[in-house]
């Protein structure tokens, strides 16, 4: 069995979710340590809202991560 055949049967979604989790945590940590309070509260608020909206499921958690990351990147910069 060659390596390309083995890669076709691997699930890369956990790796993708792990990268998203890291980016979300890093984004919030960066905002916390640099005093970007409004952007931090926007990101945390969007995460909480979407997570509750989806009923606290794992899929809802991943959706909330993506929504919060996008909200933190876009909504915080619109204020300037």
pLDDT tens figures, 4-61: 555 566 677 788 888 988 998 999 999 999 998 988 999 999 999 999 998 888 888 8
What's the pTM? 0.75
pLDDT at 73 over 80: yes
For position 62, what pLDDT does the model report? Answer: 87
| Residue 80 and residue 36 in contact, taking contact as beta carbons nearer than 8 Å | no
The number of angstroms, rounded, from the C-alpha of 43 to the middle of its chain's C-alpha atoms is 9
Q: What is the 3-state secondary structure (H, E, C) of 15-40?
A: HHHHHHHHHHHHHHHHHHHCCCHHHH
Q: Which pLDDT band holds residue 3 (cuts at 50, 70, 90)?
A: low
């Amino acid at each position: 069995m060659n390596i390309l055949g083995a890669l076709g049967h691997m699930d890369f979604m956990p790796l993708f979710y792990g990268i998203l989790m890291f980016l979300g945590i890093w984004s919030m940590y960066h905002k916390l340590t640099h005093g970007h309070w409004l952007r931090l509260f926007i990101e945390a608020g969007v995460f909480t809202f979407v997570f509750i909206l989806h009923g606290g499921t794992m899929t809802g958690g991943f959706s909330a991560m993506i929504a919060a990351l996008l909200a933190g990147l876009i909504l915080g910069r619109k204020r300037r």
